[in-house]
Amino acid sequence: MLVKFAVRFMVILASVLALAAMVIHFFFSSKLTTDLWIIVVPIILGIPMLASVVLAKDDELSVH
């Protein structure tokens, strides 16, 4: 069941990463790109972590 949790995390991470990349690329100037990536990386990693834990069920995490 841990596989389901890991797959969910990776899907959410890939989605958030792709969305952030498109937003940064199309809406901000090239001068700000590096700074924005530095600022946004904790958010990009935090959203999938929180979402995966909130959506997880007890049997997925082997909690008895």
How many domains does the structure of the chain reveal?
A: 1
Under a CB-based contact definition with an 8 Å cutoff, are residues 40 and 24 in contact?
A: yes
Instruction: Kindly provide the b/e burial profile for residues 7-44, where b requires at least 16 CB atoms within 10 angstroms of the residue's own CB.
Output: ebbeebbeebbeebeeeeeeeeeeeeeeebeeebeeee
Q: Is the pLDDT of residue 64 over 70?
A: no
Closest CA to 46 of 21, 9, 8, 18: 9
Q: Is the pLDDT of residue 61 over 90?
A: no
- Which of the 8 DSSP states describes residue 31? T
What range defines the domain where residue 41 resides? 2-54
Q: Do the domain assignments include residue 14?
A: yes
The rounded percent of the chain whose pLDDT value lies above 70 is: 94
Place of tokens 């991470």: 13
pTM here? 0.79
> What mean pLDDT is predicted for residues 12-31?
93
